[in-house]
Structure 1
């Protein structure tokens, strides 16, 4: 299933819809203003919070956490940097690790588990610069989690670029 994201530069307090491939609202990204730390909520079309994304306050490396039902679900950290590709590691609470690699700032990257493609994030399908797609490849994959991972790594890469 392919999800369409109209890319905003993720200012806190900005809300935006993610649509499915049929143009229906699938998820709402709700930026929470006036919070001590960077916080976003991924909601379903009825307003139910599916996933909460938070920047960790104290960590050596830039880190964001993903929570579901107010319980930790995953932690995302920058893995390593090369000249052409960004690498992030997503560690789920049960120990499973997902790898995120590619050109995150260009919105051209993949999410993999043990070498198997779970999602492909790309702008190449669109002419509009501020639009990209999250193509969830596996039908049994958790689309909300993979979209949250994409939003997190893009946000982390944007913040890193701002601080450079």
Structure 2
């Protein structure tokens, strides 16, 4: 299923809707303004439930963000891969509660043309070229994948890349 996300969702205190490709509200990215560290909550539109909390990791050698369940269970840590040959890569290290392992994120992050792979299988594709809406890009999540987790990872990559390049 394809989702549409606005570029540059870094304003803490700013809220942003992730919609379906048909324009229906799906998730709210709620930027929390009065927190010690940069924090977003991903809320399900239909239930209002917080499905993920995305936080900037505080004490880290390199910038990283963590994705947690609403009640504090760790899901993933997203950070830039240090050694890459041809282009930038990010890595999401997954907790055992979501299957463990890693998701590799590869592509052109500035232009929002990248994909997420797990065990050599493409599980989501991010592309700005699918929609003509200015300042938005699409995230196509493969069937059967954890939509909130992958959308949260995309928010992390967007935020980390913007911090590095702006």
| TMscore range, shorter length | over 0.9
Q: 1:3·1:18 contact (CA, 8 Å) conserved in 2?
A: yes
Range with bigger deviation, 51-60 or 61-70? 61-70
* Contact kept? 1:85, 1:104, Cα under 8 Å: no
Secondary structure at the counterpart of residue 81 of structure 2: strand
Q: What displacement does 1:7 show?
A: 2.2
Q: Aligned in 2, Cα 1:83/1:128: closer, same or farther, shift over 3 Å?
A: farther
Task: Give the one of 61, 70, 73 matched to 1:71.
Answer: 73
Question: SS at the partner of 1:54?
Answer: strand
Q: 1:156 aligns with which of 146, 153, 160?
A: 160
CA shift, 1:47, in A, is: 2.0
Question: Shift of residue 82 of structure 1?
Answer: 5.4
Q: Which moves more between the two structures, 127-136 or 25-34?
A: 127-136
TM-score (norm 2): 0.91
Contact 1:112–1:119 (Cα < 8 Å) also in 2: yes
Cα deviation 1:135-156 (Å, max 9, x = unaligned): 002x110011111111100100
The alignment partner of 1:118 has SS state of: strand
CA contact (8 A) 2:8 2:162 kept: no
Mapped to 2, the partners of 1:81 and 1:132 lie a distance apart of 27
What is the deviation of 1:126? 1.9
Q: CA deviation at 1:80?
A: 3.1
Q: Are residue 89 (structure 1) and residue 103 (structure 2) matched?
A: no
Output one character per residue of 1:49-91: Cα deviation in whole Å (capped at 9) or x when no partner: 0000000110001111000132111111110365863201101
C-alpha RMSD of matched pairs (Å): 1.5
Aligned to 2:124: 119
Distance 1:9 1:48, change over 3 A: closer
Gaps of 5+ in 2: none
> Which residue in the other structure is 2:106 paired with?
101
Q: Secondary structure at the match of 2:82?
A: strand
**Once the two structures are superposed, what CA deviation does each residue of 1:90-139 show, in whole Å capped at 9, x if it has no partner?**
011123111001111111100000110000000011223301000002x1
Which residue is equivalent to 1:24?
Answer: 24
- The aligned residue for residue 58 of structure 1 is 59
